[in-house]
Chain A
Amino acid sequence: MPTTSKTGDAGVRVRMYRQGLGDCFLISFPKRGGGRFHLVIDCGVILGTDTAATRMPQVARSIARETGGRVDVLVGTHEHWDHLSGFIQARDVWEKEIRVGEVWLAWTEDPSNALAAELDRDRKRKVAHLRAAAQRMSGDAAFGAAAEALEGVLGFFGGLGAAAGGGSTRDAMEGLAQRPEARVVYRRPGEPPVSLNGVDGVRVFVLGPPEDRTLIRKSDPTKRGAEVYELAGSMSLADTFFAGLGLSGDAAMGNAAMDPELAELAFPFDRKHRIPAARAARSRHARFFRDFYGSTDEERDAGRDAERPGGWRRVDSDWLGVAADLALALDSDTNNTSLAMAFELGEGGPVLLFPADAQVGNWESWQLLSWPADPAQPDGAKITADDLLGRTVLYKVGHHGSHNATLRQNGLEKMTSPDLVALIPVDQAMATRKRWKMPFGSLYERLKTKTRGRVLRVDQGRLPLEEAEKYGLTQAEWKEFERRTPEDTGPDALWIEYRLDHRPKRSRRPSSTRRAARGEPAR
């Protein structure tokens, strides 16, 4: 049961659910005249988590209990399984036990937005094609590991059929957008700060995703503004690759079959030069093909080609390796559509930063934003991303602590508040099982240094005193941090919280605010 603390009902609570490798946060703010305002950001766990079917309903029920069945704002940051799976796995709870006031989604989910629709179409097509590629690769022993890794990346979009418990990320996202009781708001970066109904002094700054085509694609592997610009009728790199899959007799192509004229274009040479593998044995050079390659498809299908003498030099599947690049591009593009937000507690006060899984392009785009400090004076002093970063006291680490979702120069290094605390929604055992470096070594080290050991992890909770001391935290400070981070001590160990003081008005004595927020005992 939650420990009560001095902070009590007056403060802000950020609760991180501990469902595994995935994001689910419940932030509650004290309302004017009592009661609390509940905001939930995401609810998901990575594909392949064994306990998902029991754990996610537990999480959802805990949210229902904690909020009294009323979530004021529900945020779906981006279309990835580890952020949305709970809406499918705990659909009953979400539909029957929880009522939602507003649903916030990024503008990229807005069907009426042309660029959003384009991104969406592109994504759907690629996911379907890459699934076909993964399937094809998993048939080849030499590529088993790569196929698995590819499936892992595609797992961010949910699994196929049973693995996902029936549903894809798209279904989850649409489910959010179509909740009958809720009002859907598509958030755009740089819009005027949003205030929360009934809450004093809290403003939400929307930072991303960028509405710029280039930035939202930054981390695009092909460097070449991507397929959306293509002239009709010409082949892109991805197209020739996918055409190859189709040609190789794979029926699992997602969309309509390829235009035969285009399919012919995907071949590098005229028909007269091609000797289909199946007919190689009857060609003039049959012996050459057999001696140096071993040609028949039957052999390949029987999985005997690798055992055959000389089979180790065959290259049947190497060309599928490019699928990895395409998958990563897709994954990064999706991460870049993350709805990134900063919550300011009191004018000029501390900031809670929730960038979801934003990657380079998204982070960099924040630099282009500014808001008038005083809405009445649009030309007066400005609030910039740097201000917000400088005041950040709580950072929800992007993408489970991977190396590419926390910008260094224009990101972490600008978080200079001595009170900084980091929440890392990571399950390292799961990440290791998937062979991912999460949290990424040097980033994790830097986070511990910047926060002086005040990090909270989904899998390990807070650092033990001895380790935190290495990063300069005193015993008294650690005790205070422990007091502010109560956790679910029940058998399910479902969550851990961070509690902050909240003074809605700009404090006249900022030094004491700072001292209190830093966790020093008041004198």
Chain B
Amino acid sequence: MAHAPSDPPFRMLRGYAFDPSLSTQLETAVVNEMAFRVRWERGLGPGPVGEYLEVVDYDPASGCFYEPVELDHPALLAQDGLTPSEGNPQFHQQMAYAVAMVTIANFERALGRKALWSPREIRPPDGAKPARRRGKQTAPEDQYFFDPPAVPMGGCTKRNRETGWSAEYVPRLRLYPHALRQANAYYSPDKKALLFGYFPASENEPGSHYPGGLVFTCLSHDVVAHETTHALLDGMHRRFIEDTHPDGLAFHEAFADIVALFQHFTYPEVLRHQIAHTRGDLASQSLLGQLAQQFGQAMGSHGALRDALGRVNPETGKWEPRQPDPDDYLNVLEPHDRGAILVAAVFDAFISIYKTRVGDLFRIATGGTGVVQAGALHPDLVNRLATEAAKTAQHVLNMCIRALDYCPPVDITYGDYLRALITADYEIVRDDDRGYRVAFIEAFRRRGIYPRDLRTLSEDTLRWSAQAEEVACDLEPLCEVLREFVQRHTYLTAQNQEPAWWAAMGGAKAAKWDELSGRERIFWTMEHYGMQLNLRINDPRFDADRDRFARLTGLFLSTADPPPGLRLGREGRPRFEVHSIRPAMRAGPDGDLLSEVVISITQARKVPLDPAAFPSPEWYRSRSDVDGETEIPSFTFRGGCTLILDLESQQLRYAIVKRIDSGNRLRRQQAYRSGGTLPGLRATYFGDALGGREPFAFLHAQHEAEP
């Protein structure tokens, strides 16, 4: 053979656009089965096991495995994968894989970089002494060493000699399509896995399901997209799963629903059918609202959407959009209902944008009147409308995902997210001629969501503020490291050459650099430069600017008079963690090229749960909560910042700050954590016995549980 044909760009895999129940309804059956365009992965193993995902089909309740699907088998390649079928576990594996891959692709497209899962953090075994080297002064790089992968196809582990903690790179998210026998599906941050459940449909309200028949959550497009989004979000912002604010977990939920929802709208075949089918007042909210609601129903256990956008009026029997209430944000505290507010706000913005985009099409199609005549719509018009809707959905989805780079690393609120949305979009599209940002601001304002610390509500004030002028801080020492990082980062995907530090830290013993996957190389490069940045901030050369840097970032870096409970490292220096550094190189529609780096730095303090408690200095230093005779419960209070640095001008473009010494935020968290709001019943009895381990399992189950 002269030369092998090149890899195809996509692998087509058949699946359900919604979930199997819609295939049994005449109205929706035609659009419910579609083929997902999944990025081609070379050498996809049985499972499937690819670069990002591994599907392992063990069903512990039935005590059995199901054979893994081999998508590279010629018979499956020739027919776009297996035919949709509820009774075939291999199809279930294919469906979960396909939807999760599409979700990942959406993230990568919006962010312009590879998606990484959060690393597995391994606590040192109890009583283990840190293996510190004696005698010689250790070079900072000696603090770490690498262990080879523990399992076939696993990732390396980096261990910190001083603290004993290690971080294991997790190459693939694991999907268990049949892990639970309950109406639940969740992302397990501990296992880096998605667990899907199956359950008998309710006898009393089966909905569109066959009563008593089994419902598989892994066959619902929205459930899979929702859970995958949880994992992707956790990969970017590890601290968002800490329940520190009524918005925290609600944001996780809402964001996952937003992605699931808009991902649907990007499938034109689905939209086309619906637009043609429900002709009439096409531009009105009710069509797309209703459509979204169907998705909500199909979601099964995830009901955030169900009432977010509107409901059927019991008197008229017609669907009506829900009127936004500016008090919602203040009054609704249950995570799912609160999440629904955010979903509704984003959906509202989407509708406004869509309306402005299709106004001209309607005028053209109706001879300028804009009034649509009775009868079916012209198929060309349907096509154009569907294209516009799909395009708008993709834009909104991109905006929502991209905003994640501009979020604070801890303690996110909806107001922060709005500011992140506006800032992120401004950065890439300076000229907002379609009014996208205005649409978002208006939709959020109508629900009472806006940052509480702004004097006015406009695009200017909502954008995160750039570097304060009065604080002049020479950031060159930091930029130096970061420039090297950016060069390396783009470089390393092309070149397989081993960097010097990999060998210096004992990496060569763990694995050959060129045998690591591209994503693992990116991961370790980020870790390495994060560490370099950490050293640089502590470097004597930065002494002159460190306090000014601290003022910009809301961190506490000085050794003098630290706030109580701040974690300290060597020589009494405040400990801080460079949480992540992410290159952001994007081309805007005007052809501008942005070369920026997004850095998250966090700090932690041990603080008492009770604001009235005044523990002794020993308590603050101790690991236990015992203070002399009494026990004072504690929790970890985090602060930090997300910095966006322009590498060329060494300017700090944005500093998104949650101050570590904020008394206000501390008091709010104390009040929130000690139960200002009613916890679920489970919290009373089970507390952290399960909740600390599987936050999403709880959140989802609790929503089911409460009447």
Contact = CB atoms under 8 A, between A and B. Distances in A.
A and B interact physically: yes
Interface of A: 145-146, 148-149, 152-153, 218-225, 229-231, 234-237, 239-241, 244, 247-249, 266-270, 273-277, 280, 283-285, 288-289, 291-293, 295, 309-310, 312-319, 321-322, 324-325, 328-329, 331-332, 402-404, 435-438, 440-442
Given A249-B63, A321-B690, A442-B675, 11 more contacts: A145-B688, A145-B690, A234-B203, A237-B183, A247-B63, A269-B66, A283-B67, A285-B46, A288-B47, A289-B65, A319-B60
B353 interface: no
Contacts of A153: 685
A318 B186 CA distance: 11
B167 to A, nearest CB: 14
B589 to A, nearest CB: 42
Chain A CB within 10 A, most for which of B62, B68, B682, B705: B62
A268 B59 contact: yes
Interface in B192-235: 192-193, 195, 197-200, 202-205, 211-212, 214, 216
Contact of A437 (B89, B152, B675): B675
A442 B61 contact: no
A225 B191 CA distance: 35
A414 B127 CA distance: 54
A96 B54 CA distance: 68
Given A149-B689, A269-B89, A277-B65, A436 B198 contact: no
A145 B707 CA distance: 27
Interface residues of B, number: 75
Interface string B26-63: 00000000000000000001110100001010111111
Contacts of B188: 318
Contact of B690 (A149, A247, A248, A273): A149
B179 A312 contact: no
B151 interface: yes
16 contacts: A146-B690, A149-B685, A219-B707, A234-B203, A240-B61, A240-B199, A269-B88, A276-B64, A277-B58, A315-B58, A316-B60, A318-B60, A321-B701, A328-B681, A435-B685, A435-B687
A224 B202 contact: yes
A360 to B, nearest CB: 8
B431 interface: no
Nearest to A297: B63
A241 B181 contact: yes
Nearest to B186: A318
Contact of B184 (A248, A292, A322, A442): A322
Given A149-B685, A241-B182, A332-B681, A273 B67 contact: yes
Contacts of B151: 291, 309-310
B200 A229 contact: no
B150 interface: yes
A153 B685 CA distance: 7
Nearest to B188: A318
Chain B CB within 10 A, most for which of A225, A269, A291: A269
B63 A440 contact: no
A436 B686 CA distance: 7
B684 A403 contact: yes
10 residue pairs, one from A and one from B, having the closest CB atoms: A244-B61, A309-B150, A221-B705, A310-B151, A322-B182, A149-B689, A145-B689, A234-B212, A435-B687, A274-B64
Contact of B180 (A248, A266, A319): A319
Contact of B88 (A273, A313, A328): A273
Contacts of B543: none
B2 interface: no
Contacts of B63: 247-249, 276-277
A317 B197 CA distance: 13
Contacts of B620: none
Contact of A317 (B60, B154, B203, B701): B60
Contacts of A145: 688-690
Contact of B182 (A274, A276, A319, A442): A319
B704 A223 contact: yes
A216 to B, nearest CB: 13
Nearest to B216: A268
Nearest to A249: B63
A163 to B, nearest CB: 19
Nearest to A244: B61
Interface string B675-707: 110110111111111100010010001001111
Contacts of A313: 174, 191-193
A324 B690 contact: yes
Contacts of B694: 318, 321
B663 interface: no
B498 interface: no
B120 interface: yes
B427 interface: no
B316 to A, nearest CB: 26
A317 B681 CA distance: 22
Contacts of B681: 219, 328, 332, 404
Nearest to A329: B705
B704 A221 contact: yes
Contacts of A244: 61-62, 181
Contact of B181 (A277, A322, A332): A322
A437 B46 CA distance: 48
Contacts of A402: 684
Interface string B145-161: 00000111110000000
Nearest to A323: B182
Contacts of B61: 240-241, 244, 247-248, 319
Contacts of A274: 62, 64-66
A310 B193 CA distance: 12
B176 interface: yes
Given A229-B204, A268-B198, A285 B56 contact: no
A464 B259 CA distance: 55
Contacts of A324: 682, 685-686, 690
B43 to A, nearest CB: 14
B379 to A, nearest CB: 41
B120 to A, nearest CB: 7
Contacts of B191: 312-315
A269 B205 CA distance: 24
A325 B183 CA distance: 11
Contacts of B45: 288
Contacts of B9: none
A4 B559 CA distance: 63
Interface in B589-637: none
Contacts of A293: 56, 58, 65
A222 B197 CA distance: 15
